[in-house]
Amino acid sequence: MNRYHTLHIALIFMVLSSCTQNSKTKDSDIAPFEKPYDEQYRPQYHFSPFSAWMNDPNGLVYNDGVYHLFYQYYPYATVWGPMHWGHATSNDMLHWQHKPIALYPDENGLIFSGSAVVDKNNTSGFGKDGIAPLVAIYTYHLMEGEKSGSNDFQTQGIAYSLDNGETFTKYEENPVIGNEGIRDLRDPKVFWHDDTKSWIMALVAGDHLKLYRSKNLKQWDIISDFGEDQGAQGGVWECPDLFEMQVEGTDEKKWVLIISIGSGGPNGGSATQYFVGDFDGTTFTSNQEKIKWLDWGTDNYAGVTYNNTPDNERLFIGWMSNWQYALKTPTKKWRSAMTLPRTLQLKKYGDEYMLHNSPVSKIDTLIQPSETKGFTIEPNESQKVTAQNLNQAKIAFTATKKDFKMSLSNKKDERLTLIYDDASDLLMLDRTQSGATSFNYEFGNKLHHMVTDQLKGEDFKVEIYMDWSSIEIFINDGQYVMTQQIFPTEVYTDLVFENLSDSNLDIREFSISTIKSVWQ
């Protein structure tokens, strides 16, 4: 069942009225950006829009010292609506500057997700006076087409900027890729492929991936398909990304394909899977049998990586929400945030490749130094630590692989609990009592799990980032990751470890550090 169907029918009225609005829209219509980020639940070191609705990160590209973050944006409400590309820039991916809207809907449709490239060789001819154009490649979604019952309402368009993303000009011959009747054909990720001296586009088509090739970003030829009947198919495939990675500590190179699925994730709703395989310039192949999740949490969706990064670093940002309840979360002025920017690494455990993702190392510049300690907890005993504010903090420790529970709570007895069960290799997070949960049944109704069956050794490292309305858990430098939204209505101040095993539990290198705000 196509989510847009349901969502869009409800939004038809808004869409119609917005078509008239678009032609009149000016940046002055949009709330000014100067107010502090001090509202209830407001993330302090994650990106969130100043106001209104945001979903997927788009056009992630580094150019001339600037990390661009474009994003799916509806500036007139805190629910999904006719999509624009919002825009923010940063020098470190942590401190962001809000920019005017980059792309508005036009006669070809709303501006859905896509990517951006720096066309260094001016293959597109959009460059001028030696300036390499920044080219955005995105999906047009034509509401009138969808409403009329046809299947050809998603096409692909391009726009270019000669001032490093400040302003864009749409290509007058858009769309550059039409649609012959594929209902879900969207979210182009384009990258330069040096071996074939061409641009490659990864585009999703319902239940599979299509690859296209171009010499100039304007004419595209379809070159191959991948994935029908492969991997998780519990929802429509969305937001692909394809890139090469070196396997850590070896000379081996593999290609990684990231695919988001709108529903059918390991803990319900939206999630992001990946495939490790090979790409020969035309076809992507993978003999991976197991479904692999980039993040086991419910709130890391539509994530993709940056193009053109210094040192070819693979930097990832995801949207920290889930289509199951994204429209219902209890923030007032804005809705949703991005995950922390993360560095990807490919590692091999025996025959198995695993994609690690962990916060960019620059996050350390925001972390206040703190004391590290260790403790041993006897069976059925607990250890309590109190802090002033665990809602904006990093909690780190190394745990022995024994059954334990760690809970964060506040004076209202709201409680967020992490549970490790060694026999079943499960790490579970219980947010059912964590604060506001009743806005949506799916949000607060169950324990969320992560299958940690590749943890080697006697212990594992846990790093937890709390930011008022989110928790990101990284095990062993991103081997296993869980990202979840939470809405505690008071600060958590108590942290309690309970030893659920029948022998001593060692918690080593334990620390709680405050994380500075990037907005205040």
Query: What value, to the nearest 5°, has the Cα angle with vertex 165 and ends 69 and 136?
Result: 75
CB of 58 to ligand FRU, least distance (A): 8
d(CA 170, CA 157): 8
What whole-number distance in Å separates Cα of residue 319 and Cα of residue 204?
18
Least Cβ distance, residue 56 to ligand FRU (angstroms): 5
Task: Write down the least CB distance from residue 321 to ligand FRU, Å.
Answer: 9
Q: Which two tokens stand for residue 512?
A: 């709680």
56 is catalytic: yes
Among 183, 186, 189, 218, binds ligand FRU (CB under 6 A): 186
Q: Dihedral (C-alpha) 444, 340, 291, 327: value to the nearest 10 degrees?
A: 40
**What are the Cα distances from residue 83, in Å, to 1, 102, 154, 183, 231?**
21, 11, 13, 18, 29
Out of 44, 48, 72, 300, name the contact with ligand FRU by CB under 6 A: 72
- Of 208 and 348, nearer to ligand FRU (C-beta) is 208
End-to-end Cα separation, the chain, in angstroms: 43
Residues 6+ away with beta carbon under 8 Å from 337: 43, 46, 47, 48, 54, 320, 467, 469, 470
Closest CA to 216 of 126, 138, 124: 124
Does 153 bind ligand FRU (CB under 6 A)? Our answer is no
* CB atoms inside a 10 Å sphere around CB 35: 12
Indicate whether 185 belongs to the interface with ligand FRU (CB under 6 A): no
Tokens found for residue 129: 């006076």
Q: Hey, which residues between 86 and 115 contact ligand FRU (CB under 6 A)?
A: 112-113
CA angle 220, 136, 260 (to 5 degrees): 80
How many other CB atoms are there within 10 angstroms of residue 373's CB atom?
A: 12
Residue numbers 224-243 binding ligand FRU by CB under 6 A: 238-239
Q: Among residues 337 and 395, whose Cβ is nearest to ligand FRU? A: 337
Nearer to ligand FRU, 113 or 214 (CB): 113
Catalytic residue, candidates 27, 38, 56, 459: 56
> Which of positions 37-66 make contact with ligand FRU (CB under 6 A)?
55-56
Q: Which is nearer to ligand FRU, 56 or 414 (CB)?
A: 56
Choice from 11, 15, 30, 83 touching ligand FRU (CB under 6 A): 83
Residue 261 as a binder of ligand FRU (CB under 6 A): the answer is no
Q: Which is nearer to ligand FRU, 186 or 347 (CB)?
A: 186
Q: Does 472 bind ligand FRU (CB under 6 A)?
A: no
What residues are annotated to the active site? 56
Note the residues at the interface with ligand FRU (CB under 6 A).
55-56, 72, 83, 112-113, 139, 186-187, 238-239, 302
